[in-house]
Amino acid sequence: MTTEQRDDSARNTVFGEVADLYDAVRRDYPAELVSEVLRYADPGDRGAVEIGAGTGKATVAFAERGVPIVCVEPDPRMAELLRRKTAGYPGVRIEQAGFESWERDGRTFGLLFAATAWHWVPEEVRWDLAYAALAPGGAVALFWNHHGVMDPEMHAGLAEIDARYELTFTPHTMAGWNMSDTIEPPDGDESVWSSQEALMRGRFTDLRDLRFKTPVHYPTKRYIDYLTSISAYRIMSAEARAAVQAEVAALLDAHGGGIEMVTRSDLLLARVV
């Protein structure tokens, strides 16, 4: 089945259509991850710049630790919610722009971080921009939340639905992971950075990969709300989105009214030479 989709040229700003829902259903990042970033980067009074801050799912966690942050966010609807959430943190400044068009005005930072947002910055410019934004010895921290479905039968059923609707990059892509070893390097990967090394060569060093895992249960309705916040579903027509979500809901209800998943938070760290 082929589903009608809107033009996804602005796919990185479709989340603003459901900014409040996005903020409510998206997973936070582990406190241990934030601690690892700050232990590695130690930005001090040089502060941090966050790329694609969204509604502040990561921003608040760093602001609570006293880190001054300049938040760069392209979508005005996400930025407005971010302003409300960070109103109590005087060290947070919000600047509405995409990273590639952001006016840095000569400022440099001790830390540049991006939470499930780095892939939206054009690959051909992002490392040049990151290098320019960092003070000597400054650090890059990139992290993502991935989901893995624990029940193999449910995973197969969801994959079948995805295939019928030609959906890719959904939370159903991966099966669940063993929960042993909460923090570890990526399994079997020489380095998650390997595909980026040519762009980073001579400018970044001390590359590190860390991984955190958290079990999570979604009741059916909350999971459908979560899917509504995913770009693969946002760019579908309303009719197609409703149809696929009805099928997913029926599958979850047939398996007890929810889904067991593991959230895998991957953290990539590097330092300016």
What does the alpha-carbon distance between residue 62 and residue 44 come to, in Å, rounded to a whole number? 12
Say if 171 falls within a structural domain.
no
What does the alpha-carbon distance between residue 255 and residue 241 come to, in Å, rounded to a whole number? 21
Q: What is the CATH number of the domain that holds 55?
A: 3.40.50.150
**Residue (of 167, 176, 151) closest to 247 by Cα position:** 167
Say if 117 falls within a structural domain.
yes
Task: Pull the structure tokens for residue 80.
Answer: 């407005």
Domain extent for 192: 11-147+180-215+264-272
pTM recorded for the entire structure:
0.85
Say if 185 falls within a structural domain.
yes
What does the alpha-carbon distance between residue 92 and residue 16 come to, in Å, rounded to a whole number? 20
Say if 34 falls within a structural domain.
yes
DSSP secondary structure letter of residue 29: P
pLDDT per residue rounded down to tens, the chain (273 residues): 444 444 444 554 566 577 777 777 788 999 999 999 999 999 999 999 999 999 999 999 999 999 999 999 999 998 999 999 999 999 999 999 999 999 999 999 999 999 999 988 998 899 999 999 999 999 999 999 989 999 999 999 999 999 999 998 888 888 877 666 555 555 545 455 666 766 677 899 999 999 999 999 999 999 999 998 888 888 899 999 999 999 999 999 999 999 999 999 999 999 998
Task: Report yes or no: 49 and 70 within 8 Å, Cβ to Cβ.
Answer: yes
Say if 187 falls within a structural domain.
yes
Say if 2 falls within a structural domain.
no
> How many distinct structural domains can be found in the chain?
1
Say if 138 falls within a structural domain.
yes
Say if 56 falls within a structural domain.
yes
